[in-house]
Amino acid sequence: MSYRFIILNLFVSITFAQTQVVIIEEMFMDAPYVGEFTTTNTKYASDNIFREEMQIEMGSFLVRMAMGGNKKAGSIIDGNKKMRTVYDVNEEEYAQENFQSIIENDGKPKLQMMDNSFGGGGRRNSDGDENEDEDTEPEGDDEDNNEVIRIINKDYEKIGDFLAKKVTTEMMGNRGRVIIEEWFTTDTSLFSYALDVQSKLASAYGGKAQSTPRSFSESMLKNAGHEFESVEGRLVKYKMSQKDDDGFQMKWEIKKAKKINFNRSDFDIPKIYEKVDELNQ
């Protein structure tokens, strides 16, 4: 093996180790009795370390008061230290548990980063405690989805930094119309890398990483027994609205997905934070 080849391999390894992937997701929901709220989920992934931070902003003053104000919290999984850290930005506190303690708890983390009343759209309350893969079928009134109109655009649209194909699915049943608009991209390398890092770290303590359904419309159609044409790629944006009913609507979009130089501070807890046994919920 030549020295040139060895040096090239070393250079590639060092370059990869000095990068990270940053993904920012934003979800907006307007629901009866709750009103409007926005969830921003930021993920940082690098070699053997993963961080996720969630911010929830509620539009209704009464709901915000009942929930104790807007919330911002996160978690860090460090494979080098074999440590999982959860933190509360508002309270400037953090708590930690090592991998061994999670393994002894059947792979389920004991520490929660946030009360799951709103967190992640009800998707999860911690990383790795339950498995939810891309084929997860959301609960719904599937027996009511008796009539379906599905349109797959031939052309691609620009969604952020991605070229995406739009799919519109309209379901009509006993409870009115539900319209789901989804945009799919085949440029999935950054998402795959982040999920791979998270999955490997979760498996290191006996858990399983979480992921959103690949397509909400396809899951609902499958659950209702409808045949449909599938679309290749990964979801980067969707809109869901319910007509002829209570005006419910939900929007979700990848706002940013970038590969950048590694920044150690993105994976560190601020020194002013106080260490506690567990976060207040």
Question: How high is the pLDDT of residue 259?
Answer: 95
**What's residue 2's pLDDT?**
57
Contact between residue 23 and residue 43 where contact means Cβ atoms under 8 Å apart: yes
SS (H, E, C) the chain: CCHHHHHHHHHHHHHHHCEEEEEEEEEEEEECCCEEEEEEEEEEEECCEEEEEEEEEECCHHHHHHCCCCEEEEEEEECCCCEEEEEECCCCEEEEEEHHHHHCCCCCCCCCCCCCCCHHHHCCCCCCCCCECCCCCCCCCHHHCCEEEEEEEEEEEEECCEEEEEEEEEEEECCEEEEEEEEEECCCHHHHHHHHHHHHHHHHCCCCCECCCCCHHHHHHHHCCCCCCCCCCEEEEEEEEEECCCCCEEEEEEEEEEEEECCHHHHCCCCCCEECCCCCC
**pLDDT on residue 141:** 47
pLDDT at residue number 131: 40
Predicted TM-score (pTM) of the model is 0.81
Q: What is the pLDDT of residue 112?
A: 85
Residues of the chain with pLDDT under 50: 5, 8-9, 12-13, 15-16, 116-126, 128-143
